[in-house]
């Protein structure tokens, strides 16, 4: 798949089924995604791959914070794919590359990873919300004091029973571009 096709056909896929990439395939794709722009080559991020019983740990953590929400409802909102790849932002505090630029590098890498997953036939969707605001989940995942969750990619194969995704139409962005001469 060429890059134009990948960009114009990649969509957030909400209905995901097995298979998802294994750890080795995920690392293979990540090696390429890690070539995204990253001033200083700091790689201010890491991934925690959560599958199987690990997904129960995530649900249990969220259930601690939301005792009034039935666990089954939390599980339905949290476990939507065979793989939940949790993105941890780990900025190099005090480095000459400012934190905002390190965050941009983590975002660029994640977008590249989404395109690579799509090109391999996988579906994915970026999830944030409660995962990023949880107070107990970072502790359960072993995050350091300077680390924080930016979200998770739910990854799997697009459900063949779901409606096919339409190709994106490039939009007019001429009002978003200025030229200074």
Average pLDDT, the chain: 96
By mean pLDDT, which of 13-27, 28-42, 159-173 is the weakest? 159-173
| For the chain, percent of residues with pLDDT exceeding 70 | 100
Residue 165 DSSP class: P
Measured between its terminal Cα atoms, the distance across the chain in Å is: 37
CA–CA distance, 97 with 91 (Å, rounded to integer):
10
Helix (H) or strand (E) holding 27: helix 23-33
Closest CA to 13 of 165, 128, 170: 165
Residue 163 pLDDT greater than 90, yes or no: no
Residue range 72-114, pLDDT digits in tens = 999 999 999 999 999 999 999 999 999 999 999 999 999 999 9
Q: Find the mean pLDDT for residues 17-30.
A: 98
Q: Find the mean pLDDT for residues 146-166.
A: 93
Residue 166: per-residue pLDDT: 82
Query: Using 50, 70 and 90 to split pLDDT, how confident is the model at 168?
Result: confident
CB 89 within 8 Å of CB 147: yes
Question: What are the structural domains of the chain?
Answer: 3-176 (3.40.109.10)
| For the chain, percent of residues with pLDDT exceeding 90 | 96
Q: Find the mean pLDDT for residues 135-163.
A: 95
Please give the model's pTM, rounded to 2 decimal places.
0.94
């Amino acid at each position: 798949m060429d890059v134009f096709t990948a960009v114009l056909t990649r969509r957030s896929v909400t209905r995901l089924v097995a298979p998802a990439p294994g750890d080795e395939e995920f690392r293979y794709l990540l090696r390429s995604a890690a070539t995204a722009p990253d001033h200083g080559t700091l790689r201010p991020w890491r991934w925690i791959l959560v599958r199987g019983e690990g997904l129960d740990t995530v649900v249990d953590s969220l259930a601690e914070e939301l005792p009034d929400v039935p666990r089954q409802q939390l599980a339905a909102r949290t476990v939507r794919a065979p793989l939940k790849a949790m993105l941890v932002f780990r900025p190099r505090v005090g480095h000459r590359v400012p934190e905002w630029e390190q965050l941009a590098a983590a975002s660029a890498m994640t977008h590249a990873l989404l395109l690579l997953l799509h090109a391999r036939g996988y579906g994915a969707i970026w999830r944030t919300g409660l995962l990023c605001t949880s107070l107990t989940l970072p502790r359960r995942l072993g995050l350091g004091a300077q680390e924080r969750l930016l979200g998770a990619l739910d990854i799997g194969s697009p459900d063949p029973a779901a409606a096919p995704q339409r190709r994106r139409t490039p939009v007019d962005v001429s009002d978003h571009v200025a030229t200074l001469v």
